[in-house]
A and B are shown apart, each in its own frame.
Chain A
Amino acid sequence: MSENILKELTLKIWRQKDAKSKGRFETYKIHNISTDTSFLEMLDILNEQLVVESKETIAFDHDCREGICGMCSLFINGRAHGPDDEVTTCQLHMRRFKDGETITIEPWRSGAFPVVKDLIVDRKAFEKILQAGGYVSVNTGGVPDANSIPIANDKAEEAMDAAACIGCGACAATCKNSSAMLFVAAKVSQLALLPQGKIEAARRAKAMVAKMDELGFGNCTNTGACESECPKQISISHIARLNREFLKAKLQD
């Protein structure tokens, strides 16, 4: 760890009072930031500065700060979760920036995720898609012994790759069509790969795709932006599996 100090940064940050108000960029200067500081810690420092100046602090979503809860978002210099690959905004560190740099910070830009305040957006649409069928329909209790359902190691690993989705929304926010295909595919694929989920695979694929369409998410055009911005590297091969599952389900109709 070699610590350096960024003497001055210019921050262009999207400010919006609430969902109904019009937003605008505001410019802030911040000084003497250690390169070991995380990006969100840098915003914490800026907010402290704003309190001292009796100005309203910048609202942004965050919680675990370990890259797993999926709460943080942000477009940083035009990229979801910032310039680093395979990380969420909360894992991004200031060593990725240069002294004197101007950093532009915006909320997720997607019609499906309306702004709540400043950098915070509403991701309820994702909830609704999962509610439509993103689960195995079992009640608590009365299930078989765990080892009575053997699963091949590679299938379990592949399911785990898909299950790693944190539901942050970077995929849909990045997609030029605002498609939620990668998010939907991750869940459909995880469960389709496992014997527990196979039983209702057809119903699940249809229900989730229908809900996604209903909520106004766009179509997938295979550009792969979602995959490259996904902090958990969910592969678009899962979209191919979703398409197969969906087609299979439709053929059964």
Chain B
Amino acid sequence: MSALDSKIPAGPLAEKWSNHKAHINVVSPANKKKLDIIIVGTGLAGGSAAASLAELGYNVTVFCYQDSPRRAHSIAAQGGINAAKNYTNDNDSVFRLFYETIKGGDYRAREANVYRLAEVSGAIIDQCVAQGVPFAREYGGLLSNRSFGGALVSRTFYARGQTGQQLLLGCYGAMNRQIKAGKIKVYNRHEVIDVVIVDGKARGVIARDMVSGRIERFGAHAVVLGSGGFGNVFFLSTNAMGCNVSAAWNAYKKGAYFANPCFVQIHPTCIPVHGEQQSKLTLMSESLRNDGRVWVPKKIEDAKKLQAGTLNPNDIPDEDRDFYLERRYPAFGNLVPRDVASRAAKERCDAGYGVNNTGKAVFLDFKYAIEQLGRDTIEKRYGNLFQMYEKITDVDPYKNPMMIYPAIHYSMGGLWVDYNLMTTVKGLYSIGECNFSDHGANRLGASALMQGLADGYFILPYTIGDYLAKEIATPKINTNLPEFDEAEKQVDERLHKLYNIKGTKSPDHFHKELGHIMWNYVGMARDAEGLQKAEKLIAELKEEFYKDLRIVGDFTAMNNELEKAARIADFIELAALMAKDALERNESCGGHFRTEYATPEGETQRDDEHYKYVSAWEFKGDKEEPLLHKEDLIFENVELTQRSYK
């Protein structure tokens, strides 16, 4: 019997959420004023939750490591946000969005959660428009939609290539209104490092003030982690430089189970790596695949010339171009889901058809769209993305095809949560990318924004009330409790331990090493042998890290090196769990591709009989192996099939 209770409500799929809402507890307005909530992270999930909960009357304290809540990495989401509005009359519906999300996730997500996500998607768009988010409009004044990968309908709402920015600024505005009203208190430049648990319930956090370097404690009746994903475990990713797993990881070490850590998304359209001195990869929005055609040369000799820089891609005639996505997946063409597109690019490059000097790039060509629609239209649709591309690469994408290659982008795995978004620690919630709940083994484009805002605006504000209704008699949390002393002491000791190593190598050195191990063995293609090797290499790296790390600067002061080192210490531990989880899952699904488990066409081969579950890992101590719990996934409304985009 599993220790996991997902608390999925009974009844027909379409009625679960309304029935659940109708029967859960609600806190009275007078009592909400007495309850404190801590929210870690101010992206779309944390920000929308903070604003909504403060509007309801709770006292909200939020933390972000940036200098302003507006800078959380949701801001960088480009392409759009999905919603089952069916404004385009192309037969979209809540069920279709639900179905495509479940299928896109390769049948490794919960039906009930995903259905609820699709159900509230429409209200998100209404909310954002009411806030003044300047979505793209048709000439008649109504909202415009575009298509995204893995979907047969056009349901993606967008604001140029800056949709995440506009949605985040919308919810930042809502937060600002509550800050002015005194209902939200913001701690910027604060890194939350640990969760404090008192009598089995989350009652606060320990954070480091990144300006003064002081370690501080904060209490609340409930704690919400909206601290994002862990793509930076790979060092090079599309995540912001500061994105880290520390809050979630230390919650795991305090009893919150970590689910599906091996499920990470590799985005097919990123600017290729240029050299060893690089710190960051840049995403080119998936929306570009609406109008761009992906290709490599058909002839290996053309590829060789491109790699040597002796052939201009524009001189390769159409008949010598291999539009491999259109060839392999005629139904979806260039708009196959991300995991499929990424693997297809890798397959061509591994076969020697890569188009840049490293052999690790494919073309994304707008020549055809420009011929058909004109440069003006393309400029209107993607102008800022084209400008970004040109600034980085010094190549004009209006005249030459873009070069792209897959890169780490998003983590589907995260803290395990039940239907109420509560982790296995009472009173500790996890929302947005930080949790594992809605995207299975692969997330569809434009669904991250949807999930973040669904959790924050429309799900957590209801479900947290059910828990807090039982807390109305609990007085303000006293941060002088011994549990706070102990947690603060642990954090202080941990940081001092790192600081006092006084070795010879910088935090970045170890981060890069970790990234190499993860990309090579726990990346786009994995196998048992490689994963075992990764486990060994990670253990060795960890040992070296604790022997040879050097942190310059002062301990009790602003110290970027100390910040980085603390994050990397957690990434190294997470990396080991990712490898273990990937090794345990003897199947391929979505972004988790085990080369031993592939169909003859090279597609993912699931094993539903043995692996139709969520893996949820329980921390058992630094020297013990974590314990695997399995939440069996029950599919009553969709038929499990081999995912096909042909």
Mask: chain A, 149-174; 1 = CB below 8 Å from B; 0 = not: 11111001101100110110000000
B contact residues around A87 at 8 Å (CB): 391
B contact residues around A71 at 8 Å (CB): 66-67, 71
Q: B393: CB under 8 A from chain A?
A: yes
A116-B283 Cα distance, complex, nearest whole Å = 31
- In the assembled complex, the CB of A234 is this many whole angstroms from the nearest CB of chain B, namely 13
**Contact yes or no, B240 A167, CB < 8 A:** no
Q: Number of contact residues on B: which range applies?
A: 35 or more
**Contact yes or no, B166 A163, CB < 8 A:** yes
CB neighbors of B among A29-69 (8 A): 33-34, 36-38, 40-41, 44-45, 47-48, 50-52, 54-57, 59, 61-69
A31-B280 Cα distance, complex, nearest whole Å = 21
- In the A-B complex, list the 9 residue pairs whose CB atoms are closest, starting with the nearest: A150-B141, A135-B173, A143-B130, A51-B506, A140-B52, A160-B134, A146-B129, A69-B71, A65-B280
Given A132-B180, A136-B132, A163-B166: A69 and B240 interface contact (C-beta under 8 Å) = yes
A3-B278 Cα distance, complex, nearest whole Å = 14
Given A56-B553, A91-B388, A135-B177: A163 and B169 interface contact (C-beta under 8 Å) = yes
Closest B-chain residue to A162, C-beta based?
B134
Q: B368: CB under 8 A from chain A?
A: no
**Contact yes or no, A156 B388, CB < 8 A:** no
CB neighbors of B among A129-146 (8 A): 130-132, 134-141, 143-146
Given A138-B131, A163-B166, A196-B130: A153 and B282 interface contact (C-beta under 8 Å) = no
A contact residues around B137 at 8 Å (CB): 150-153, 156-157
Most A CB atoms within 10 A — which of B66, B67, B123?
A: B67
Given A63-B242, A64-B73, A156-B137: A116 and B392 interface contact (C-beta under 8 Å) = no
**Contact yes or no, B134 A59, CB < 8 A:** no
**Contact yes or no, B159 A51, CB < 8 A:** no
Closest A-chain residue to B129, C-beta based?
A146
Q: B638: CB under 8 A from chain A?
A: no
**Contact yes or no, A40 B279, CB < 8 A:** yes
Closest A-chain residue to B181, C-beta based?
A131
A7-B269 Cα distance, complex, nearest whole Å = 32
**Contact yes or no, B75 A140, CB < 8 A:** no
Given A139-B55, A160-B134: A63 and B73 interface contact (C-beta under 8 Å) = yes
CB neighbors of A among B218-277 (8 A): 240-242, 274-275, 277
A236-B48 Cα distance, complex, nearest whole Å = 31
- In the assembled complex, the CB of A222 is this many whole angstroms from the nearest CB of chain B, namely 26
**Contact yes or no, B240 A138, CB < 8 A:** no
**Contact yes or no, B177 A122, CB < 8 A:** no
A70-B71 Cα distance, complex, nearest whole Å = 7
Q: B108: CB under 8 A from chain A?
A: no
- In the assembled complex, the CB of A82 is this many whole angstroms from the nearest CB of chain B, namely 11
**Contact yes or no, A160 B160, CB < 8 A:** yes
Q: A123: CB under 8 A from chain B?
A: yes
Q: B637: CB under 8 A from chain A?
A: no
Given A41-B277, A51-B550, A51-B552: A151 and B241 interface contact (C-beta under 8 Å) = no
A91-B51 Cα distance, complex, nearest whole Å = 32
Mask: chain A, 109-124; 1 = CB below 8 Å from B; 0 = not: 0000000110010111
Given A34-B275, A50-B552: A63 and B391 interface contact (C-beta under 8 Å) = no
Closest B-chain residue to A121, C-beta based?
B67
Most B CB atoms within 10 A — which of A44, A55, A132, A163?
A: A163
CB neighbors of A among B417-469 (8 A): 457-458, 461
- Of the listed stretches B290-298, B327-335, B557-565, B606-614, chain A binds B557-565
A191-B131 Cα distance, complex, nearest whole Å = 9
Q: How many A-B residue pairs have CB under 8 A?
A: 226
Q: A84: CB under 8 A from chain B?
A: yes
B contact residues around A152 at 8 Å (CB): 137, 141
- In the assembled complex, the CB of B85 is this many whole angstroms from the nearest CB of chain A, namely 7
Q: A252: CB under 8 A from chain B?
A: no
Closest A-chain residue to B138, C-beta based?
A153
Residues of B within 8 A of A (CB): 48, 51-52, 55, 66-68, 70-73, 75-76, 85, 87, 123, 125-132, 134-143, 159-160, 162, 164-166, 169, 172-174, 176-177, 179-180, 188, 211, 240-242, 274-275, 277-280, 282-283, 387-388, 391-395, 457-458, 461, 505-506, 508-509, 550, 552-553, 557-558, 560-561
Interchain residue pairs with CB less than 8 A apart (23) = A1-B393, A38-B279, A44-B279, A51-B505, A56-B553, A63-B73, A64-B71, A64-B73, A69-B75, A124-B67, A130-B172, A131-B179, A140-B51, A141-B123, A141-B127, A141-B458, A143-B126, A146-B126, A146-B128, A149-B130, A156-B136, A156-B137, A196-B131
Closest A-chain residue to B356, C-beta based?
A1
Given A45-B277, A71-B66, A93-B394: A140 and B126 interface contact (C-beta under 8 Å) = no
Given A63-B66, A64-B73, A132-B180: A116 and B135 interface contact (C-beta under 8 Å) = no
- In the assembled complex, the CB of A146 is this many whole angstroms from the nearest CB of chain B, namely 4
**Contact yes or no, A194 B132, CB < 8 A:** yes
Q: A12: CB under 8 A from chain B?
A: no
B contact residues around A156 at 8 Å (CB): 134-137
Given A63-B66, A87-B391, A150-B142: A131 and B134 interface contact (C-beta under 8 Å) = no
Q: A223: CB under 8 A from chain B?
A: no
- State which of A50, A59, A91, A190 has its C-beta within 8 Å of the C-beta of B391: A91
A38-B274 Cα distance, complex, nearest whole Å = 11
A148-B164 Cα distance, complex, nearest whole Å = 23
A contact residues around B139 at 8 Å (CB): 153
Q: A83: CB under 8 A from chain B?
A: no
B contact residues around A149 at 8 Å (CB): 129-130
**Contact yes or no, B48 A95, CB < 8 A:** no
- In the assembled complex, the CB of A63 is this many whole angstroms from the nearest CB of chain B, namely 4
B contact residues around A137 at 8 Å (CB): 177
- State which of B172, B240, B508 has its C-beta within 8 Å of the C-beta of A44: B508
- In the assembled complex, the CB of A81 is this many whole angstroms from the nearest CB of chain B, namely 12
- In the assembled complex, the CB of B404 is this many whole angstroms from the nearest CB of chain A, namely 14
Given contact pairs A51-B505, A69-B73, a sample of 18 additional A-B residue pairs in the complex whose CB atoms are under 8 Å apart: A41-B280, A51-B506, A57-B552, A69-B66, A71-B66, A91-B388, A130-B176, A131-B177, A131-B179, A135-B131, A140-B48, A144-B130, A147-B87, A150-B142, A156-B136, A159-B134, A160-B159, A160-B160
